[in-house]
Structures are given as structure tokens and as C-alpha cells.
A and B are shown apart, each in its own frame.
Chain A
Amino acid sequence: MDDSMRQLDGNAAAGLLAEIFAFDITSAQAVCNGCHAVEPVATLLAYGLEMGAILRCPGCGHALLRVSRLDDGCWLDLRGMSVLRVSMTGLNGS
């Protein structure tokens, strides 16, 4: 199986992100700072996933979210997204 077969997406980072967020962030819509595409966090491409993760735009490759688990806590870098829209009518994702 080559690496492209193993490529995961934001769905697979949902557990890691649920350590930080009390709502399901993978259902939220993010605006990419690179190309301005609007994508659910679930569909971003996921890299890493063990000690942390990087979620990248499937369109332009820009890194929207970086999360690292370190001894002093979880470090979260959201500089790659300009807006995160969270639906208030179904925080569980519907």
C-alpha cells in the first residue's frame, strides 16, 4: 500500500482535537488563509496524528491547524485559518 492510500483526513484527528475542544471541531467550517476555500475541518488532510497533527487544505496544501502534545500541555496554532464557523444548531455536527 503506498502512502497516498494511507492519507487520512480531519476525521481521524477528531480524537486528538477532542482533548482540547469540548465541541466537535471537525464539523465546523474553516476558511483557508492560503486560498480562501471553505472546508469542514473533517475534510482537511491530516499529517502526523501521534504526538500532534497538522491539518492542511486539500486544495492548496496550506496548513490550517497545528496541534502538538507537549509535557506542558497541548499547543494549538490556528494561524492558517482566517475564520472558523461553528454551527450552533447541532454542536454534535448535524
Chain B
Amino acid sequence: MAGTTVPGRLTWTLASVRESIPETLGARTLVLDVPGWRGHRPGQHVDIRLTAEDGYQAERSYSIASAPDGERVELTVERLDDGEVSPYLTEELRAGDRLELRGPIGGYFTWEAANGGPLLLVGGGSGIVPLMAMLRHRAASGGRTIPTRLLGSFRSFDAILYRDEIERLAETDGELGVMWTLTRAQPPGWTGSSRRIDAALLAEAGWPPEARPLVYVCGPTPFVETVAATLVALGHAPSRVKTERFGPTGG
């Protein structure tokens, strides 16, 4: 929209695609160079705007997956078959292509090492993306002393995002605990959890309310509502349970 460029307010900029990396069958990570990027806080997102030849525009929000790192910004995009934007981002976009972007956006669902812990991160599907930015920032910023637990819920083993990197992090980090639950399909010999997140799983994977953890829950709406309500029922203060519905990764 013309005439809205007020200094200090959010404006669109052109990012260039450095790389597009497959994560799972349906998700890719876009590594972007964003000239003039002023940094971000883990948990924030960007808006992406695509413009068709006839002028039709579509905007979507995508969580930043990377820790703050100069002008480099990584987004992980899950392909939605009937989406307007995600099929283009995951299938058409190539290194060197340019993309309209604005951000960083959102100050509520953010965590930095200075906020302390203990920390409980609960992600469903691509809801893990902003939580990954928090984990990467924690590892990169000397936050490894902050006791942290991640509970990730995915449909199947192959659908787990960042599994290798997260498990590598946990192997060398005594303060980081990771638990996966696979809700639809489990590989042969799977000894982990295989049900939707409930009170028992949150009690096992997370922290008791007395530890007063900071909790971040991100996923589809039914997931977020169930997990947040269960955490409050377990005795966690609602003000310490921050939620974000689906990524935000829609379309």
C-alpha cells in the first residue's frame, strides 16, 4: 500500500534465496540473505508476500528457524497441498531468486537466554520451527546452563523436523532433554511415546509447576488449546504459558 512507509515502522524488503534445503518430505528450509536485517529474537516471524503477474498478492507468515546471525535468516516452510504460497516456496523457489519479506515481527512469543528458565518447549508438527530458533540461540549464546526440555509431537518418525541436529545437541548438553511422541505411525522397534500429548506425557517430559518453568507451546489450534489447558490444569501459571497457533505457517 502506497504512503505507509513511516520510519520505524515495518516495511517490505527484497530478500534473496541463498539455498533451499529439504528437511522432510513436505518441508524445506529457505536460507535467505536479507540486506539491512536488523536482527531478530528467537520466536519471531516474517511475512512473505508473493505477487502474481496480474497483480494478485498473497501474504503469509513464517517463523524464523535460525538463531540471530547477521543478515542470514532461515525459514522452514511446510508444503500445504491446497496452499497458495507454500507450494511455490517449497517447489519453485531456487537459489538466487528474490522474495518480498518484512520483519522481524511479533514480540510476544519470544525467548532469549536473558529470560532464563527452566524452559519447556512443546511443539506440534511445524510448530517446532520457532522453538528451534530458541534452541539454536540457547546453544549459540552460552545459554547451555539453562535447563531446557523439548517435547515434540509429530505424525511419524520421518516427519520430525531437525531431528539429527536436536539429538546431536542433546548428546553434548546435559541440561537439554528431548522427547518425541509419534501420533500416527511408529517405526519398528520404536520405544518412545506414541500418543497425543496429555497430562502424563507433559508431567514426564516437562517440569513440575513448582519449578516455575517458562513454557512455549506452538502447533495447530487443537494442539495448542489442549496442551495449554492441560498445563494450566497441572498447576502452571497461565501467564508463564505462551502460545502461538500454527507456526504461524498457513498456506
Q: Residues on A close to B: CB < 8 A? A: 1, 4-12, 14-15, 18-20, 22, 24, 26-27, 40-43, 49-50, 69, 74, 91-94
Q: A8–B245 contact, CB under 8 A?
A: yes
Report yes or no: A8 in contact with B248, Cβ–Cβ below 8 A.
yes
A22-B8 contact in complex given A6-B250, A11-B109, C-beta closer than 8 Å: yes
- The A interface, classified by DSSP as helix, strand, loop or mixed, is mixed
Residue ID in chain A nearest B251 by CB atoms = A6
A42 to B47, CA, bound (A): 16
Q: How far is the CA of A27 from the CA of B105 in the complex (A)?
A: 11
Structural contact, A8 and B108, CB atoms closer than 8 A: no
Given contacts A11-B248, A19-B9, 9 further A-B contacts (CB under 8 A): A1-B80, A5-B220, A7-B245, A9-B245, A24-B106, A24-B108, A26-B107, A26-B108, A94-B107
> In the complex, are the beta carbons of A22 and B245 less than 8 A apart?
no
Minimum CB–CB distance for A26 against chain B, Å? 5
CB-CB under 8 A from A20, the residues of chain B are 9
Main DSSP-derived SS at the B contact region: loop
Whether A11 contacts B221 in the complex (CB less than 8 A), given A42-B244, A69-B1, comes out as no
Q: Bound state CA distance, A94 and B61, in angstroms?
A: 21
On whether the beta carbons of B243 and A15 are closer than 8 Å, the reply is no
Bitwise, B217-250 to A at CB < 8 A (1) or not (0) is 0001110000000000000000000111110101
A27 touches B243 (CB 8 A): no
Chain A min CB distance to B111 (Å): 9
Q: A5-B220, A6-B246, A11-B245 are in contact. Are A40 and B108 (CB under 8 A)?
A: yes
Shortest Cβ gap from B241 to chain A (Å):
10
Please indicate the chain A residues that have their CB under 8 angstroms from the CB of B1 in the complex. 19, 69
Q: How far is the CA of A89 from the CA of B219 in the complex (A)?
A: 29
Cβ–Cβ contact A5 & B61, under 8 A: no
**Cα distance A22–B115 in the bound complex, in angstroms:** 23
